[in-house]
Amino acid sequence: MNNQSKTVITNLSISTNPVENINRLKDIFKQCADIAYERIAAGPDMSCTAWIVYCESLADQQSASDILSVLQKMEMRRRGNGDSLTTQAIREWFEFQGIIDRSYFIHDTLESVVRMVLQGHVVFFMEQWDHAVSFDGLKLETRGVDEPSAERAAIGPREGTVENLSMNIGMLRLRLKTPDFKIVKIPPAGPRSGKEIVYGYMDGVVPPAVLQQFEQRIGKVKDYEIIDTTMVEKLIQDSVWSPFPQCRFTERTDAAALAVLEGEIIVMSQGSGVVLICPSLFVEFLQSIEDYYHRTVFTFLIRALRVTAFLIALFLPSIYVALTTFHSELIPTVLLLAITNTREGIPFPAVLEVIIMEFFFELLREAGIRLPQAVGSAVSIVGALIIGQAAIDSGIASPIMIVVVALTGIASFSIPHYNFAIALRLLKVPFILLAASLGGFGLMIGILLLLMHLCSLRSLGQPYFNPVGPFRPRRFDMLFKVADLDKTGQGAA
Amino acid sequence: MKALGSLIALTGLTLLLTGCWSKMELTERAFVLALAVDKGKEEPLEVTAQIYRPASQFGAPSVQTTSTSFVNITLDGNSLSSIIRNTKTVSGRHSQFSHIQIILISEEVARERLSSILDFFYRDPEIRLGTSVVIARGKARDYLAGKAMIENTLGSQVFKQLNFSANLAARAVNTTILDLAFQLKSESASAMLPIIMHDRQFKQNLVQGIALAKPDGVVGRVAPDKVPYLLLAANEYNYGVLEVPCGRGEAAGQKESLEVLRANSKVTPVLKGDSVSANIEVKIDASIGEMVCTMVRDMKDEAKYAKRIEQHFKEELESVLNTLQKQQTDVLGIGHKIYLRHPYRWKKMKPDWPETYARIPIKVNVQVDIANSKMMNPGPFSRIGED
């Protein structure tokens, strides 16, 4: 990650001779076909030459010609006719900040010029001036604002983020009209990717210790190449090896705005619609933005359902294995007889049966994600046939096992955050193995280890398993109840 | 590193903890659903275990429908545990007793010995203490042979019959092996057990009647029609229908019925000097089931009717108590109650308690409260409000 850029351009100052500058730039951008150099001449007898440099693939052609119109305007307003215009006059115009209708930047090193060109700026060199002027000419293709496909909600706004950072910030600013909502730009990540990253928070609501911790960690981002916001998680998270994610992601602007209101920090980057929210706690992964739009009673029930789904997704296969191989006396008689009926003639022990079926299921899930949509549906039909009917008919799996595996899968789908559901998929395998080797006793060992891990895990210094560990019975409503409407503006906490 | 080391050490140590488990797949176990204990021809005991036979789904459908879903294994021997251990040699699977629903003991065996047979069940960890025990008239294993009416196996059939009989019909009592231990180990040392019998006339099995048991074995029984009154006295009555004869007149020989909604009883032993006596207070809330020969027009009539019922019940209860005293079985726990209140005097009384019990006067007091007549509106067959 830490290898230096091959092209060394540090501390090259801008020469007063534009041709020299252009030659140096051409040298730096050797074999970069998308860099355009244009020469323009003005002044008495076309004696005054200037150069425009920009990246064709990023900057709008229109922006390149804009610079000429700026010069023309300047002529009309301030400096008389074109004949009397001198480089000296133009220089003064920019340095003393005359009236121009676009924002511009003045650079004095080639290094910053190169960076600006690659960010889509149009750079303007002039004779006898050791500075360069640049205008933002970035023109990106942006798709329209749409409902994020990964986070659909029955009610609530249909607004999702797009790949354009400034549009995203704009959408958030529309929801949080206060100077307390800070958007901080940090130095771009990585010498090669140069990702523009910003973070936002609500001043006065976010705990200062959390913010300080966060700033310390995000500061390291300049040393790493970042392609997408999701990669920032690796710099912010407390524990790398924990299966549980400590940041959550959203593409909904309402969810991001709410997180900011509740004192969390969001991270966004140019070219990505993903908003990273940290610090995220265990209970927050079981919550969905929609909970805030529904009636309280329904929210309570739906959250209770998700807690159940969490337990099912994590423990159901292992409990089934433990019960059938070690503790058959715990199964009610009639159910037991039904299970023995279905198990009779299956050649595998229960644990192998579970692992085979879980393997089938995971395989299908993976196949379904990667394939194009048209083929994906074919996979699910084949999968339903293989996992369902064929496995039973051929005596590989018992119907009750299909129920167990299917229920586990559906339960993991009902977890609102995908990265959290992955943790459950991961953890269920060791639990199955523990249950198969030591039964309920092994399951208990596993649960204790899991609880120990969850209780010691921190998310930006905040206890991850709050309110269970540290044990705060009064805050158990976090699990099931949405906070009342925020009246004071002090954050719903 | 230190944390990881201690974690591994702790995890390793947990494996050394004692536990009680046996890893075995479901297909390696044979689930015993019922046990029948008989007297063998040559050996003292003959045990029949009813084992559930799972219907494999891979066979042809015709095979499944013709076969019964259970098999019976019968073995004889000296002790229950050795016989049970040997069932494995017949079935080829590990016999699992955790789901046993009912234990049938033939009356023949039960009259000879009871607690020594059951000893195995109290020691074995697999068998639940909530398993019911039934005394079978005739051969116990006959009740497990044949086809079940509705249930999967005959064992569960008998178990359901017993539950219904005890809870809703008041014709038997549900005694688990834990109840039995409590009753036989109490100072009264007497227990009630349900009876299963074969009805020759209609060729069906009935769970009706109660056997009276002492630690050494069953000593007598109470006929099905007297069982409700025994249950009333013992405060074991849940729901049921009681009959009241019509008395003299045109409807002589017919009976009216009363549905019991709630019944409570309280047995109070009375010690006065050396003399012992007991009081039984029975309180019944009932609604009228059928009326044949009585007319109830107002509150006065109702009170009169209740008095008649009370008188009849009192006679029935006294006759049941008389049977109990003759058999010297203190299933109402009078002796145990004396022990709880006067432990020192009980020490002296205990040796001759059975004889004392047979003689003591028991005063019965019945109170019947007719809660409703089950009439939504006075209909044509009603005798309420008729002139």
Q: Residue B59 has what DSSP assignment? A: S
Give me the residue from A344, A441, A449 closest to B56, CB to CB: A344
CA of B280, closest CA in chain A: separation in Å?
A: 40
A365: closest CA among A425, A310, A445, A415? Answer: A425
End-to-end, the C-alpha distance of chain B in Å comes to: 97
List CB contacts (< 8 A) between A350 and chain B: 25-26
Q: What is the pLDDT of residue A120?
A: 85
Q: Do A337 and B23 touch (CB under 8 A)?
A: no
The contacts of residue A142 (CB under 8 Å, 6+ apart) are: A162, A163, A164, A167
Question: Which residues sit opposite A202 in a β-bridge?
Answer: A181
CA distance A47 to A86: 9
Burial (CB count within 10 angstroms: exposed 0-12, middle 13-18, buried 19+), residue A302: middle
Sequence-distant (≥ 6) Cβ neighbours of residue A239 within 8 angstroms: A246, A457, A458
The pLDDT assigned to A112 comes to: 84
pLDDT, residue A322, reads: 93
Picking from A237, A230, A181, A192, the residue whose alpha carbon sits closest to that of residue A417 is A230
For A76-84, the CB contacts below 8 A with 24+ separation are: A82/A42, A82/A43, A83/A43, A83/A44, A84/A44
Residues B136 and B208 sit within 8 Å (Cβ to Cβ): no
B238 in contact with chain A, both atoms CB, cutoff 8 A: no
Distance from C-alpha of A52 to C-alpha of A65, rounded to nearest angstrom: 9
Q: B55 vs A339: CB contact, 8 Å cut-off?
A: no
Token pair, residue A337, equals 């007889």
Q: Is B25 on the interface with A (CB under 8 A)?
A: yes
Residues of B within 8 A of A392 (CB-CB) are 57
Between B1 and A155, whose confidence is greater?
Answer: A155
Q: Are B52 and A337 in contact (CB < 8 Å)?
A: yes
**Cα–Cα distance, B134 to B196 (Å, whole number):** 7
Average of per-residue pLDDT values in chain B: 86
In this structure, of A382-391, A395-404, B178-187, B307-316, the range with the lowest mean pLDDT score is A382-391
B62 — pLDDT class (breaks 50, 70, 90): very low
∠B371-B377-B381 over CA atoms, to 5°?
A: 90
What would the two tokens of residue A126 be? 């002039």
Average pLDDT over residues B283-296: 85
Tell me, what's the pLDDT at B39? Answer: 92
Domain residue limits, chain A: 18-136, 165-280, 292-477
- B91 touching chain A per CB within 8 A: no
Nearest to A326 among B21, B31, B33 (CB): B21
Distance from CA of A445 to the nearest CA of B (A): 8
From A339, A441, A449, residue closest to B26, measured CB to CB: A339
How far does the CA of residue A329 sit from the closest CA of chain B (Å)?
5
Question: Between chains, do A329 and B21 touch, taking CB under 8 Å as contact?
Answer: no
Compare CB distances from B25 to A327, A337, A350 and report the shortest one's residue: A350
Q: What pLDDT does A156 receive?
A: 86
* CA gap B169, A259 in Å, rounded: 63
User: What pLDDT does B111 receive?
Assistant: 92
DSSP secondary structure code for residue A161 in this structure:
-
Asked if the model's pLDDT at residue B385 lies above 60, the reply is: no
Q: Which stretch of DSSP H or E encloses residue B241?
A: strand B240-245
Q: Residue A449: its chain B contacts at CB < 8 A?
A: 7, 11
* Chain B positions in Cβ-Cβ contact with residue A337 (cut-off 8 Å): 31, 52, 54, 152
Contacts of A346 in chain B (CB under 8 A): 27
Give burial (CB, 10 Å; 0-12/13-18/19+) of A248: buried
* Residue in B56, B96, B156 nearest the CB of A328: B96
Tokens read off for B149: 């009416």
Please give chain A's pLDDT, 493 residues, in tens: 444 455 656 667 888 888 888 888 888 888 888 888 888 876 666 667 788 888 888 887 777 777 777 766 666 655 555 555 566 767 777 766 555 656 778 888 888 888 888 888 888 887 777 888 888 878 777 888 888 888 888 888 889 999 989 899 999 999 999 999 999 998 888 888 888 899 999 999 999 999 999 999 998 888 888 889 999 999 999 988 999 999 999 999 999 999 999 899 999 998 889 999 989 999 999 988 888 888 888 888 999 999 999 999 999 999 999 999 998 889 998 899 888 888 888 888 999 999 999 998 888 888 888 888 777 777 777 777 777 778 888 888 888 888 899 899 999 999 999 999 999 999 999 999 999 988 888 899 899 999 999 999 999 989 999 888 788 877 777 777 766 666 554 444 4
pLDDT of residue A366: 84
Contact B260, B168 (CB under 8 A): no
Q: What are the residues of chain A with a beta carbon less than 8 Å away from any beta carbon of chain B? A: 324-329, 333, 336-337, 339-346, 349-350, 392, 395, 438-439, 441, 445, 449
Task: Say whether domain B223-387 belongs to CATH 3.30.300.210.
Answer: yes
Question: Distance between CA A333 and CA A335 in Å, rounded?
Answer: 5
Cα–Cα distance between B209 and B189 in angstroms, integer? Answer: 20
The pair of three-digit structure tokens given for residue A329, joined into one six-digit string: 């006396």
ipTM, two decimals: 0.80
Interstrand relation of A275-278 and A265-269 (parallel, antiparallel or unpaired) = antiparallel
User: Looking at CA atoms only, how far is residue B25 from chain A in angstroms?
Assistant: 5
> Considering only CA atoms, which of A121, A140, A108, A5 is closest in space to residue A55?
A121
